[in-house]
């Protein structure tokens, strides 16, 4: 499995945990859900903040919501189909809210601020 594929699989496995536990999800929980050793997480991602951010990006990808609407069965009437679409959109909105609350908590944490500082320093070094 390529590094990108491994990152994508870990991020996908992390999404439900991020929704359920928010920023408090442990790397042990993530490793178990992803079916990998805990050390594998840190070979794929620089730190927990990067991992959780990747999971959030995956969860917020609109393709999943579009696919859910596309998969709705015919409901027999326009009104019934609109109700189905509204239910999918409402659930998507609830999910986005849970994810955004978790992302805010991650970025506002000491760990998130440290990770941002490290990334900022790397960017400054790269620019010379």
Q: Domains in the chain, please, with CATH?
A: 3-127 (1.10.357.10)
* Pair of tokens at residue 68: 């859910």
Q: What span, in angstroms and rounded, lies between the C-alpha atoms of 19 and 4? A: 23
Q: What span, in angstroms and rounded, lies between the C-alpha atoms of 110 and 107? A: 8
CB-CB contact of 102 with 95 (8 Å): no
pLDDT at 68: 93
pLDDT at 123: 56
Q: What is the pLDDT along the chain (128 residues), one digit of tens a residue?
A: 898 999 999 999 999 999 999 889 999 999 999 999 999 999 999 999 999 999 999 998 999 889 999 999 999 999 999 999 999 999 999 998 998 898 888 888 787 777 776 666 565 555 55
Residues 6+ apart with CB under 8 A from 1: 9
pLDDT at 43: 94
């Amino acid at each position: 499995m390529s590094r990108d594929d491994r990152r994508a699989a870990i991020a996908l496995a992390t999404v439900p945990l991020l929704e359920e536990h928010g920023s408090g999800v442990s790397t042990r929980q993530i490793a178990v859900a992803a079916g990998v050793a805990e050390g594998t997480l840190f070979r794929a991602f620089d730190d927990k903040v990067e991992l959780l951010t990747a999971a959030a990006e995956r969860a917020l990808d609109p393709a999943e919501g579009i696919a859910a609407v596309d998969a709705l069965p015919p409901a027999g009437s326009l009104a019934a189909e609109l109700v189905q679409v509204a239910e999918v959109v409402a659930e998507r909105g609830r999910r986005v809210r849970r994810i955004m609350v978790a992302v805010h908590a991650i970025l506002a944490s000491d760990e998130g601020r440290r990770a941002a500082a490290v990334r900022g320093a790397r960017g400054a070094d790269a620019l010379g």
